[in-house]
Amino acid sequence: MSRIGKKPVSVPAGVTASVEGQKVTAKGPKGELHYVVNDEVLVKLEENELVVTPVDQSKDARSKWGMSRTMIENILSGVTNGFERRLEINGVGYRATMQGSNLQLALGYSHDVVYEAPEGITLACPRPTEIVITGIDKQRVGQVASEIRSFRKPEPYKGKGVKYAEERVVRKEGKKK
């Protein structure tokens, strides 16, 4: 039994949620998101709560039960609060600047890397060594953070590169004489 799936998802104040077949839609102060639930899971709106249940007790249905509940919870919190991911840049001469709505990164290459923010994502650079990614869709925010990090991943000897703010780079010892 899914312990996550058993809990109903409460709809926060200021958010309207609707269920049409397998499509769950949430409208809130930050925008509108929808999620199409798998056919092996049922979603019902009962007294300002979304209840997720599996269609039957098959392994496949039970495995999608908790994930569907989490995805619904993510769209509800996304339209109320939004999501944020922070990146840090370490290295001499490595920096980030905003060029209009695009992010310009100097990462030790012969050229600057220019990253264009996708629709629904906001990029900001409060400091030259910090990037803040915000949006209402948790998956898109994480994907953008991953793409920016992939331009220069942190290396294990000096820790230079782009890393998540909460990430800890495991350092290696250099070679000895």
At 69-120, the pLDDT tens digits run 999 999 999 999 999 999 999 999 999 999 998 999 999 999 999 999 999 9
**Superfamily of the domain at 83-164:** Ribosomal protein L6 (3.90.930.12)
Using CB atoms within 10 A of its CB, is residue 39 exposed (0-12), middle (13-18) or buried (19+)?
Answer: exposed
148 has a pLDDT exceeding 60: yes
Classify 144 as helix, strand or coil: helix
Query: How does residue 129 score in pLDDT terms, banded at 50, 70 and 90?
Result: very high
Q: How far, in Å, CA of 77 to CA of 135, rounded?
A: 11
Query: How does residue 58 score in pLDDT terms, banded at 50, 70 and 90?
Result: confident
The strands making up 16-20's β-sheet, listed across from edge to edge, are: 16-20, 23-27, 32-36
133 has a pLDDT exceeding 90: yes
For 3-80, which CATH class? alpha beta
Query: Can you give the pLDDT at residue 1?
Result: 56
Does the global pTM surpass 0.95? no
pLDDT digits (tens, 9 = 90+) for 108-118: 999 999 999 99
Q: Where in the chain is the domain with CATH 3.90.930.12?
A: 3-80, 83-164
